[in-house]
Amino acid sequence: MASDAEVLPGRLTILPPSIYGSPRWYAKEFQDAMALVRVKGKPDFFLTFTCNPKWPEIKESLFEGQPPNARPDIIARVFHMKVEALLADILKHDILGHVDAYVMVKETQKRHLPHIHMLLTVLPRDKPRTPADVDRVVSAEIPDRLTNPELHRIVTSHMIHGPCGEWNILSPCMADRKCTKDYPKALRQTTSFSDDSYPLYRRRAEAAPGDPIMKTIRGGANVLVNNAWVVPYNPYIVLRYDAHINLEIVCAVTSVKYLYKYLEKGPDQCLVRLEPHERMREALRHDEVARYELGRYITASEGYWRIYDFPIQSKMSR
């Protein structure tokens, strides 16, 4: 007769995809999103919209001396209204072209700032096919301070990456003393398409509309920042919403699966357990319910988002 050490039957407990926000739910939503690609084709735009805690709607609702992170309920409600307004601009007013399908997922940073990721597929007539089409929709340059001072303020406040690298090795984007986002970007006179996920945007070194600016980094040092540090954006959208809104052109079909997986990855989780050898039987009990409860981390902003019953994922196909 086999001993217990030889026969370890184990036990499997499943957390079904009907549980909103569970790992299997995200897997199901990923399969639905990929079905849109089969019908509508690859997405054309990848948009990231991050909450700005300095919005007047948030600041006017705070008590005197109260920081925005002390009112996650206000942050959740205001950001939801901004997202609804942005969706109306994109879907009804066609500011990026007539959208044929989209997938949007909401996430929350651990510092309480919610953000959304959105993949948009537009009709063939509105797809950016040439460098001139890309330049009409996306800019990666500092605007002119004299002709458009408000856009200059927003871009220099929200759309400058870092600076990181040798100027700030403690930046969150740094890994092995290199920027994981590949900043600073190479300066170039014209936009061109690449085999990567996104085009190589125009970042002029001379005769550019905007002048270099000084940015103060951690430690008080001042760094001269030019177009190599600008995160791609749409001028109309960032001017209208005064926030960090990154807009990228999706030009590689090979990156589609990665992008949809990035959207539907769910919240970050980490669970580590060390078991002695004699408790091997317990280790074989795969309990997805317990793992989901122990591994997730919910901020106050995310808690209010769920209390208000705001959606964490939406998609549409016309």
Closest-CA residue to 26 (of 308, 292, 313): 313
Burial (Cβ within 10 Å: 0-12, 13-18, ≥19) of residue 36: buried
3-state helix, strand, coil in the chain (%, to 5): 35, 20, 45
CB atoms within 10 A of CB 175: 8
Tens-digit pLDDT string for the chain (318 aa):
444 445 445 677 888 888 887 888 888 888 888 888 888 888 999 999 999 999 999 999 999 989 988 899 999 999 999 999 999 999 999 999 999 999 999 988 766 689 999 999 999 999 999 999 999 999 999 998 888 999 999 999 999 988 888 888 888 888 888 888 888 898 999 999 877 678 899 998 865 566 677 777 666 678 888 898 999 999 999 999 999 999 999 887 777 777 777 776 766 555 556 666 555 555 556 778 877 777 777 788 888 998 999 998 888 887
- 243 with 237: CB under 8 angstroms? no
pLDDT score recorded for residue 173? 84
pLDDT score recorded for residue 75? 92
The span from the CA of 217 to the CA of 22, in Å, is 38
Alpha helices in the chain (DSSP H): 23-40, 56-59, 72-91, 131-137, 149-158, 235-241, 256-263, 280-283, 288-295, 300-307
CA dihedral over 282, 283, 285, 291, signed as positive or negative? positive
Can you tell me whether residue 191 is helix, strand or coil? coil
The span from the CA of 169 to the CA of 45, in Å, is 31
pLDDT score recorded for residue 153? 92
CB atoms within 10 A of CB 119: 25
Closest-CA residue to 55 (of 38, 76, 37, 39): 76
Can you tell me whether residue 29 is helix, strand or coil? helix
pLDDT score recorded for residue 174? 85
Burial (Cβ within 10 Å: 0-12, 13-18, ≥19) of residue 34: middle
The span from the CA of 126 to the CA of 94, in Å, is 10
pLDDT score recorded for residue 247? 95
- 183 with 229: CB under 8 angstroms? yes
The span from the CA of 244 to the CA of 241, in Å, is 9
The span from the CA of 217 to the CA of 219, in Å, is 6
pLDDT score recorded for residue 92? 93
